[in-house]
Structure 1
Amino acid sequence: KEKLPKEGQRVSIPMGIASVVGGNPLKETVLVELESGARVEVPLSEVTIIDH
């Protein structure tokens, strides 16, 4: 079971670079905010942390 990234971490998702704003451990999804300001929920499997 993967750990969710922390709020504020920068991540790479298929739509681009985003910042983590939340997560749902039960659904294993991460809520991120794209540089455009749009917020999207993506599966944890599609998220790559680019800073720790």
Structure 2
Amino acid sequence: MAIETTTLLNTLFLAALGLLVIVSGGILYLTTLEWRDRRRQDRDKRLGS
């Protein structure tokens, strides 16, 4: 019974770690897109004025 519990906990830990990496990567991706878009809009404002 202890072996099954350990296997279950290891599986849950790896799943949680994987989700954390995926969510963190998504946040980093969206932040980078927003930063790039904001930079592009600022450049367009300066050139258009």
Question: Of Structure 1 and Structure 2, which has the larger fraction of its residues in helix?
Answer: 2
Question: Of Structure 1 and Structure 2, which has the larger fraction of its residues in strand?
Answer: 1
Question: Given the two structures, how large is their TM-score scaled by the length of structure 2?
Answer: 0.16
- Rg (Cα) greater in structure: 2
Structure with more contact order per residue of length (Cα contacts < 8 Å, sep ≥ 6):
1
